[in-house]
C-alpha cells in the first residue's frame, strides 16, 4: 500500500515532465488526452490530494499567461500538475481575458484542482478597476466618491471631520466591492493583495497604506472573499506580512512572504516570530503558520533555484524543507513558491519543465509519506 501511494504521488509531481511541449490549437490538445498517463482516475487522485493536503503546497506568481494560451509555456495548463495555487501577475481584469484564457483557467480549476487568483497592488483606491494615473483621476470620484483634494503628491490627506471621514470610508468600501466583483466576473478563485506599505514604491504608500484604511478595505473584501465570507473564494495577502495587523489576519486564507533573501532556517524562524506576535489574540501560531507560504525570486535567480541556502542546496528547496519553529515547538507551514516562476519553465542543463518546483514538492511530500504511510 505504501509503495502504491508513493507511486501515485510521484506521477502527480512529475507529470509536467512527461507531457509534450508542442503547441496546440484546440481546447483539448492531444497532450492532455487519455492514453498519455492523464486519465480520469489520475485527475481525480490529483484533485483529492490537493483538497486533503493543507501543508507544504506549491504556489507561484505567473507572469507568462498568453492571450492565446497556445502552448505549455504561456498557459496555465503547462504549469506543474501538483501546483496548488497560481497567482496571475500582470493584466488580469475581466475585460482583457480572451476566450482562450478563460478556457485555460477553467480547465485547470475544474480538472486539475488548481486555484487561480489575480494579484493587485494595494495602495491607491481604484487600482485594477480604473485605468491610467490614479492620482487626481476624475474616475476616482465618479466611480468611488474619492475626492481629488484627498490626494496629495506625497500620499493622501486624512479627513478633517466625521462626515468627511465617513465619505472616505464609503469610498474605500465601494472600491473593495468592485474589486471583489472583478474576481467573480473573471472566474478567478480569489485575489492576492500585494501589500508593501513601507518598502514598496510610491504607488504602495497611498491611502490604503494607512492601517485604518487598510482594515476598512479588508473588512469589506472579507464579505465576499476569504474565510469570513462563507464562500470558496480566496483572500490572499503577500509582501510585508510582518506589517499586517492582528485584527486583519482572520480575513485571509494565506500569507505569502517574499523571503527572497532569506537563506537559512534561523532567518526564517526569526521573521515568523514577529508575525506571530502581531497576530497574538487574533490567530493561534499553529493556524497562522499553516497559512504561511515562503517564496524565492525566480525573476532574477531561476537558474540557481532562487539562490543558495544553508547546507549547499538551492533556496527553494531549503525553504521547502524548513520546518517552522516557535518557542520550542515545530509546526507545518502552508507552502513554498516563487516569483515569476515562468522563468523556470525550461532551464539549460536541467531535466523536464519547472525542475526546481517539482524537486521541492517531491522532497517534502515524498519524504513525509515514507515516514507516515503505514505498511499494510
pLDDT at residue 368, as a whole number:
52
Q: What is the mean pLDDT of residues 294-308?
A: 98
Give the domain ranges of the chain: 2-135+170-372
pLDDT digit string, tens, across residues 340-370:
999 999 999 999 999 999 999 999 987 554 3
Predicted TM-score (pTM) of the model is 0.88
Domain at 2-135+170-372: CATH code: 3.20.20.80
Judge whether residue 33 has pLDDT over 80: no
Q: What is the pLDDT of residues 136-146, one digit of tens each?
A: 788 899 999 99
Decide if pLDDT at 18 tops 80: no
- Of residues 111 and 136, the one with the higher pLDDT is 111
Instruction: Give the three cell numbers for residue 251.
Output: 480575513
Amino acid at each position: 500500500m505504501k509503495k502504491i501511494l508513493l507511486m501515485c504521488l510521484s506521477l502527480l509531481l512529475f507529470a509536467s515532465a512527461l507531457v509534450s511541449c508542442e503547441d496546440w490549437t484546440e481546447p483539448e490538445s492531444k497532450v492532455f488526452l487519455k492514453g498519455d498517463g492523464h486519465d480520469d482516475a489520475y485527475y481525480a487522485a490529483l484533485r483529492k490530494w490537493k483538497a486533503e493536503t493543507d501543508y507544504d503546497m506549491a504556489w507561484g506568481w505567473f507572469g507568462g499567461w498568453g492571450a492565446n494560451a497556445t502552448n505549455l509555456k504561456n498557459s496555465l495548463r503547462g504549469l506543474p500538475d501538483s501546483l496548488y495555487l497560481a497567482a496571475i501577475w500582470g493584466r488580469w481584469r475581466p475585460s482583457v481575458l480572451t476566450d482562450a484564457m478563460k478556457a485555460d483557467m477553467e480547465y485547470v480549476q475544474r480538472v486539475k484542482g488548481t486555484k487561480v487568483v489575480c494579484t493587485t497592488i494595494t495602495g491607491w483606491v481604484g487600482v485594477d478597476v480604473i485605468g491610467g494615473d490614479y492620482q487626481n483621476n476624475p474616475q476616482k470620484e465618479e466611480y468611488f466618491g474619492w475626492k481629488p483634494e484627498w490626494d496629495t503628491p506625497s500620499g493622501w490627506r486624512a479627513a478633517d471631520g466625521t462626515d468627511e471621514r465617513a465619505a472616505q470610508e464609503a469610498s474605500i468600501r465601494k472600491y473593495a466591492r468592485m474589486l471583489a466583483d472583478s474576481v467573480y466576473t473573471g472566474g478567478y478563485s480569489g485575489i492576492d493583495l500585494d501589500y508593501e506599505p513601507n518598502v514598496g514604491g510610491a504607488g504602495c504608500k497611498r491611502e490604503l497604506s494607512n492601517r485604518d484604511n487598510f482594515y476598512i478595505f479588508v473588512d469589506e473584501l472579507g464579505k465576499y472573499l476569504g474565510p469570513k465570507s462563507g464562500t470558496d473564494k480566496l483572500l490572499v495577502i503577500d509582501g510585508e506580512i510582518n506589517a499586517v495587523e492582528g485584527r486583519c489576519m482572520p480575513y485571509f486564507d494565506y500569507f505569502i512572504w517574499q523571503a527572497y533573501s532569506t537563506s537559512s532556517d534561523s532567518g526564517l524562524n526569526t521573521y515568523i516570530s514577529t508575525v506571530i506576535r502581531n497576530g497574538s489574540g487574533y490567530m493561534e501560531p499553529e493556524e497562522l503558520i499553516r497559512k504561511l507560504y515562503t517564496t524565492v525570486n525566480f525573476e532574477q535567480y531561476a537558474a540557481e533555484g532562487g539562490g543558495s541556502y544553508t547546507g549547499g542546496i538551492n533556496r527553494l528547496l531549503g525553504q521547502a524543507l524548513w520546518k517552522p519553529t516557535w518557542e520550542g515547538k515545530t509546526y507545518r507551514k502552508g507552502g513554498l513558491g516563487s516569483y515569476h516562476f515562468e522563468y523556470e519553465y525550461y532551464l539549460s542543463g536541467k531535466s523536464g519543465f519547472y525542475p526546481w518546483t517539482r524537486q521541492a514538492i517531491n522532497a517534502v511530500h515524498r519524504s513525509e509519506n515514507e515516514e507516515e504511510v503505514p505498511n499494510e
